[in-house]
Copies of this chain bind each other. A is one copy, B any other.
């Protein structure tokens, strides 16, 4: 369900790597990548800072794994949805629901994904950028199938705008989860169909 490079290794509980990534995501979301020390991340999982280097090559590598994980998860889920046969409107709705669900379940990852691209090394940044571009293209495809009069640049801009709308979940703590999911879905679709 949640993106993870190494799945929970057979038994139930998450691997140490995943524990660390989850804790780090929460901290990065709160204080920013550069605002979190290696000791803070360690403390959050009950070990000292340097022990993290048994699991990750560097602090940058943690961020890299986090961001590529998210990007791959979104692209995979999005691609799967536009491959389904059926009504174009249903597919677009499915895409919105998929992204809304992710944003609701992982607000911390959303925040990190939006803010900390700049802190990534060159290699990882290129990779994440490419995945993001491909995800946008998934949306552009779905959008133009339902609103054929929309040209590509407008569709791309509309996609970015709707990401912004849905990704507002970290600032949106006022409503119970289900209500917020429904509201965001309706707002997103309302925006997209208004794109003309």
Contact = CB atoms under 8 A, between A and B. Distances in A.
A168 interface: yes
A6 interface: no
A75 interface: no
A153 B168 contact: no
A51 interface: no
How many identical subunits does the complex contain? 2
A97 interface: no
Interface string A173-189: 01100011001101111
Contact of A157 (B153, B156, B175): B175
A25 to B, nearest CB: 15
Given A35-B119, A164-B167, A164-B168, 16 more contacts: A30-B118, A32-B32, A32-B33, A34-B34, A153-B175, A157-B175, A160-B172, A161-B166, A162-B165, A163-B171, A164-B164, A186-B195, A187-B191, A187-B192, A190-B192, A190-B195
